[in-house]
Amino acid sequence: MFIHWFPGHMTKAIRMMSEEMKVVDSVIYVLDARAPQSCINPAFDEVIGNKPRLYVLNKADMVSQKEVIKWVDKFRRQGYKCIYSNSISKADAPVIVKNLLELNEDLIERYSRKGVNKTVRAMVIGVPNCGKSTLINSLVREKKTVTGNRPGVTRGKQWVAIGAYIELLDSPGVLYPDFKDQEKAMRLALIGSVKEDVVDCAELAIEALKYFIKEHPEELLNRYKLDEVKENALEVMEDIGRKRGVIMRGGELDYERIAKIIISDFRKGYLGKFPLESADA
């Protein structure tokens, strides 16, 4: 399976982001904690330029704290400010605000010396479905942006005020213009950043199973009550289908339904709290 999805509105979004970056002081770069490296979009580097960035490893509740901290440390060693968050919980909002203000400390101080309270303007960016809008909503403590559990919901330009001196600009989720690394594309598809109608669910489930067979076979045993975890991903998929009774008329397995069960179980965290890529790599 070859994954490629870069609809026209993403090209428009990149242009909008480039234009708005002129009036932005810094960037909040939201990454899905289940696949942080794959969520780094090379197309953003030119757009951001030398603006300071705050990486937020979002959906951190979907990954063990030990693994999240490894990723935070990795980004910090690279010289970036980085924190983790579960944007569904409003408890992390003060931490995000604190780090954003620290990121713009020099700018705020420069204005303060002139007797001016500087309003910090930050653009929130990320790949589709990484939780940007939900994160903003947790900061404003009420819904002011459009959210959805599918990629491609946010399209237009939306400024929201966070207190008296912070303004955030939500932006549409944007994928890579060119998926040269199909392993990254697979990870993005698994976390829901690629529209399902451009992905073969059965093949995607096979890729997920390959990962769990190699790294966490015990999770497959426990979740699906399997007798054993075979080396062949297709055979494991068939065993799961039989255990769950996902059988069509005539006694044939319904591979599409089995695939959706596996993908859904991963996305809901039923297969354990593991990132799809290691910070040690």
The candidate with the shortest Cα–Cα distance to 173, out of 207, 201, 135, 230, is 135
Least confident of 98-112, 161-175, 209-223: 161-175
Q: Tell whether the model's pLDDT for residue 153 goes beyond 60.
A: no
pLDDT at residue 142, rounded to an integer: 58
Q: Which domains does the chain have, with CATH numbers?
A: 8-170 (3.40.50.300), 200-267 (1.10.1580.10)
In this predicted model, what pLDDT tens digit does every residue of 178-215 receive, in sequence order?
A: 667 788 888 999 999 988 877 899 999 999 999 999 99
Kind and range of the H or E run holding 47: helix 42-48
Whether residue 74 has pLDDT greater than 70: yes
Among the listed residues 55, 53, 52, the one whose alpha carbon sits nearest the alpha carbon of residue 32 = 55
Residue 19 φ then ψ, to 5°: -70, -45
* Model confidence, pTM: 0.88
Q: What is the pLDDT of residue 150?
A: 46
- 77-98: average pLDDT: 89
Q: How confident is the model at residue 175 (pLDDT cuts 50, 70, 90)?
A: confident
Backbone angles phi, psi at 214, to 5 degrees: -80, -45
Residue 43 is predicted with a pLDDT of: 85
DSSP strands (E only) in the chain? 26-32, 53-58, 81-84, 120-125, 158-161, 166-170
Name the percent of the chain lying above pLDDT 70: 90
> Which tokens belong to 211?
């990962």
Q: Which of 116-120, 138-142, 222-226 has the lowest mean pLDDT?
A: 138-142
Predicted confidence band of residue 154 (pLDDT cuts 50, 70, 90)? very low
Phi and psi angles of residue 161, each rounded to the nearest 5 degrees, phi first:
-90, 135
Q: Across residues 57-74, what is the average pLDDT?
A: 95
Write down the pLDDT at residue 188.
93
Which has the higher per-residue pLDDT, 223 or 4? 223
3-state helix, strand, coil in the chain (%, to 5): 45, 10, 40
DSSP three-state, residue 67: helix
